[in-house]
Structure 1
Amino acid sequence: MPMDSVTVSIDHDVCMGSGYCAREHPELFRMTTEGVAELYWGTKEPVPLAVSDKLRKAAEDASAICPAAAITVSDR
């Protein structure tokens, strides 16, 4: 399985808490008790990941469906 290194981040200043990312991709995102999205492992910092093509696609899909454009996926 090919692995890519990417960085996934959520801009918490613009996240509006729609929950689309967590609902569609719970393997990567969850909602906090404050009603904003966070990365599943609970960090607010951008996270470099070695991910499969499937997880990279999931992160990119979440970025595309975020109505606030708060999710960024970039090559490391």
Structure 2
Amino acid sequence: MTNDTSLAISIDKDVCIGSGQCALTAPDVFTQDDDGYSELLPGKEDGGGDPLVREAARACPVGAITVSEKGS
């Protein structure tokens, strides 16, 4: 997989428990809001080419993050 693939990243706020695993795994893409829940950093809606985005989704203990290739 190449890094120029545009991704669609979705965070289900109703499922997120704020464990922070995504922000620890891919800190250039994910952060936590004031309440501790996951959110994307501004401008990183497509993952920004970060190879750790999929790993961050896998690291989520409740599966709140979905990553797919745009157009698929």
TM-score by length of 1: 0.78
Corresponding position of 1:66: 60
Distance in 2, Cα, partners of 1:64 & 1:24: 10
Corresponding position of 1:22: 23
Distance in 2, Cα, partners of 1:73 & 1:6: 7
User: Aligned residue pairs: how many?
Assistant: 69
CA contact (8 A) 1:20 1:65 kept: yes
- For 1:11-30, what per-residue CA distance to the aligned partner results, in whole angstroms no more than 9, with x for missing partners? 10100000011122110000
CA contact (8 A) 1:17 1:37 kept: yes
- Structure 2 counterpart of 1:14, which letter? V
- Structure 2 counterpart of 1:63, which letter? A
Can you give the 5+ residue segments of structure 2 that lack an aligned partner in the other structure? none
Can you give the 5+ residue segments of structure 1 that lack an aligned partner in the other structure? none
Question: CA separation of 1:2/1:16 partners in 2, compared to 1, >3 Å: closer, same or farther?
Answer: closer
More strand by share: 1
Consecutive aligned runs of 4 or more in structure 1 exceeding 3 Å deviation: none
TM-score by length of 2: 0.82
Identity of aligned residues (%): 38
Distance in 2, Cα, partners of 1:10 & 1:75: 15
Q: What is the root-mean-square deviation of aligned Cα atoms in Å?
A: 2.2
